[in-house]
Amino acid sequence: MEAEALIVKLPTDFAGWAISFRGEELRREKGEAGPHGGRGQGIQLHAATAAAKFRMDGPKDNMAIRKHGDEDLAMEVAHRKMVPNSDVTLWCVGLHEPHREWACRFCMNDDGTISPCDKGNPCKDVVIGVHLGEGWKRTGLVLVHREDTKRRLVFLQGSELQSRVADLDEAAMRVDATKEHRLIITAPNLSWMGPGPLGLCIQGSMITVGNGRIFNLKVGKAADAAVFAFDGLETECMAVRLHEDREFGVDVSHRKMEPGSAVLLWDCDRKILAVQFAFGTDRSLCPFGFAGVAIGIKQNTDRLELVRSDDPMRLRFQTPEEEEATAALLREEAAAAKAALAALEDAALARCNADMFERLRLDGFVHIPNVVPRELVLAARKEINRQLGTATGGTDQFKAKTFPRRPEITNLVNSSGLPIILRRLLGPRDSGPYRVESGQIALRFPGDMCIKDSVDSDFQNFERIRQGWHIDGTPSSFIPGVTDHWGKITNFDALVGVLLSDTDANMSGELCCYPGSHMDLAGYFKQNGVDDVANKGAAGLPTGQKTDSVLRKPPIHCNGKAGDVFLANYMVAHFIAPNTSQDIRYAVYFRIRGPSFDLDPFNKESMLDPLMNWSLDGPEPPKKAFAKPSLRRAATIEDAELMNEALDYYSAANNDHTVPT
């Protein structure tokens, strides 16, 4: 008899599903599973595209149901207890000397149910059914009462089975597992993400969790959309794998198929465990077997999560035909962008000259005029003003406490020449161009840091403020739940401040930096260590009356025009001047990590040697060689989901508010 699949007809919740394998083969020596030992494999209900094949060995009223290709393994009832809720699995008695003749026998009933036989006598009051328990047990196989219509399984037979198998075979022939797919979004309207087509993108770098690896996913610009391969039938059941590394598949955090669960890329080195998905008729993407939920987006964020299948925030994706048209358009845009990038690169690299290197080496910071195009500056100001106009709870949130992921903010870096300058200064990254996921809005209003209830300052007020200098990434209570990482310093390589308004005069809320302080502080930390800073935050820094004994030069006021950038070594001591002007000071800050931080996101060596990660000699940056590939570790999946975003937030513990009292 030819091998055949066992495809379900009833109950309707599982119609079209089939018995398939679950997990890997289990082996037990003698004494571990009876006097003979044995080996087995779990079975479950799953998509018909993953159906296991069996050979029916014997007449239909007394047959062994054997695994095709390994016929020692046969369907078995746990402990031969022919009672409801006994597990049904595949098993072979005898690990080294298989006793295939001892296989359990079954009866195919006329109504399409399957009953076990006990020593040749059909036990027709029980039949094979589905568990419907929690977790993986939901689709596990057990014996159930024959009258239990909710759980008993009725299988397709004869022409119905042949027709279903033929349809599956025909569809499978059309599958091209090598084809590139981008999940481009057609609905809903995600206005907060800015104009242009959107798609599913990879967020940040790879993170390891236990024995697995994770990439976080987000909604982003279609031009940056990840490339996937569909392993299976789109409308039936498929794994959505990363095209360049098929070990990664789209997954659901902790496999909790419920609203709010995060959607990510996961590789646990066991491809058989990949979560399966299927497109619905509306082109939403649902985990297979859980039609009540679909991949969606959290309102006003770029975060992917499961939502109810009727939630308006569920994502709907392009059809194959629409995807082809978008791919062609993206190729045209990419070609144009490549040409524009070449011109941008020439202009950006021209700024990386000996004077810049000298300033960064000696002062620790440099003024780069007019590096961000005016249209990007205006778009960012428009977005900030929009947020100001709709804000509730006052303006304090805009004083270095807001980290929008809006493209109008991130484009200040991502669409300017800054990634090219950063590549030259810090070296190229294996993960691709320097990009930022968020920026820190830092507004300074008239009267900020001034004498109380005034828009004035004097010598004493400024002295108090300048002695309250800080470096970023130190713990504080500035933003509860974000910057209060006591015991830990989240340092980085470069602080990038983009001016969105002109600051022509001192005391306009401008950034102030102590030249040479990167080396001054390195010397201080070599003598005193960094533990005080990690445990006490800014209170562990030599601020206040200690300032001038550690920092040898007076501060410089970093004034400039909108579109100018001040780029500083992480170790440069800085503060914000009072704003005695009539205007709001607009700026956005970004924290940048070069390739050395891919190995260790809490890299303290550079606090003792501030130039170790910088390439300030020669016409081109040397390719930094590391002993192992980029690995960032997280204790849990939740930590991994937050890591890329949290590190930005932690390092942005901007202590502009920290002034000695």
pLDDT digits (tens, 9 = 90+) for 495-549: 999 999 999 999 999 999 999 999 999 999 999 999 999 899 888 999 999 999 9
Residue 458 CB burial class (10 angstroms; 0-12, 13-18, ≥19) = exposed
Domains of the chain, with CATH numbers? 4-171 (2.80.10.50), 184-322 (2.80.10), 352-601 (2.60.120.620)
The amino acid occupying position 392 is T
CA distance 43 to 16: 16
533 against 597, higher pLDDT:
533
Q: Residue 344: pLDDT above 80? A: yes
Strand-pairing partners, residue 65, are 56
Closest CA to 66 of 51, 76, 77: 76
Residue 627 has a pLDDT of 36
CA distance 357 to 611: 11
How would residue 385 be classed by pLDDT, with cut points 50, 70 and 90?
Answer: very high
Residue 49 has a pLDDT of 86
Under 8 Å between Cβ of 494 and 568: yes
Contacts of 484 by beta carbon, 8 Å cutoff, 6+ apart: 475, 476, 477
288 against 121, higher pLDDT:
288
Please state which of the ranges 21-30, 37-46, 243-252, 395-404 shows the lowest mean pLDDT.
395-404
Residue 268 has a pLDDT of 64
Taking the CA atoms of 569, 571, 577 and 582 in sequence, report the sign of the dihedral they define: positive
Please state which of the ranges 92-96, 180-184, 394-398, 446-450 shows the lowest mean pLDDT.
394-398
Mean pLDDT estimate for the chain? 87
Mean pLDDT of 238-252: 93
Mean pLDDT of 276-283: 93
Residue 171 has a pLDDT of 79
Residue 270 has a pLDDT of 55
CA distance 256 to 637: 12
Contacts of 556 by beta carbon, 8 Å cutoff, 6+ apart: 363, 512, 513, 514, 515
Residue 620 has a pLDDT of 63
428 against 431, higher pLDDT:
428
What is 87-136 written as a DSSP string? BEEEEEE-SSS--GGG--EEEE-TTS-EEEEETTEE-TTEEEEE---SGG
Mean pLDDT of 577-604: 86
pLDDT tens sequence across 636-660: 666 666 555 544 444 444 444 444 4
Q: Residue 153: pLDDT above 80? A: yes
Residue 405 has a pLDDT of 74
CA distance 407 to 150: 50
Mean pLDDT of 459-463: 96
Return the axis-axis angle of helices 418-426 and 320-351, rounded to nearest 10°: 60
Return the axis-axis angle of helices 407-414 and 374-390, rounded to nearest 10°: 150
Q: What share of the chain is helix, strand, coil (3-state, %, to 5)?
A: 30, 30, 40
Q: What percent of the chain has pLDDT over 90?
A: 60
